[in-house]
Amino acid sequence: MLRTLKLNVRPLLFLGLGLSLSASPLPPPEASQFDFWLGEWIVMAPDGKNAGTNRVVKISGGWGLLENWTGANGVTGHSLNTYQASGGVWRQFWVGAGGVLELKGGLDLLGNMVLSGETTGHDGTVRRHRITWTPRSDGNVRQFWESSNDGGLTWTPVFDGLYRRKSVK
């Protein structure tokens, strides 16, 4: 008679990744650097037209931020953002109708969050991306996304949005 051994692999997976199943420690102070982006937002294009809405919330005990974007045209996207203490960098993983984008970076000397990464097109063309979030004194946030096809020699605007907090009713 053959016996079947049932094994729960979840604890092994966490241990293999160096993660603990016990209560998580508090995130490092740097995990709050992107908190200026938290909230419910109406996003406006430079011409004053509605570009979409965004909801950014803290998740997993403050270890991450989850972004939920809905463009004015109905297209949606989501990003997971976290501070990686071991590397001293912020990481963002974006998933949207146009594909995925993985970015990393951190605060610049002016307090702007600057994340960058690369994508490779079907034809093998490498495109660099740089996104800057600038907190403004009025509580709004500017997001400016640029891309480069020449290794960063020249940059072309992809998106320029002003985040305004939704009114609380």
Q: Residue 88 corresponds to which amino acid? A: G
The pLDDT value given to residue 20: 58
Give pairs for 144-151: CB < 8 Å, separation 24+.
149/125, 151/126
Low-confidence ranges of the chain (pLDDT < 70): 1-22, 168-169
Confirm if 56 and 41 have CB atoms less than 8 A apart: yes
pTM of the entire structure? 0.84
CATH superfamily of 31-165: Calycin beta-barrel core domain (2.40.128.20)
Domain coordinates in residue numbering, the chain: 31-165
Q: In the block, which residue shows the tokens 């490498």?
A: 126
What is the per-residue pLDDT across 67-100, written as a single tens digit (0 to 9) for each? 999 999 999 999 999 999 999 999 999 999 888 9
Alpha carbons 130 and 69: distance in angstroms, whole number: 18
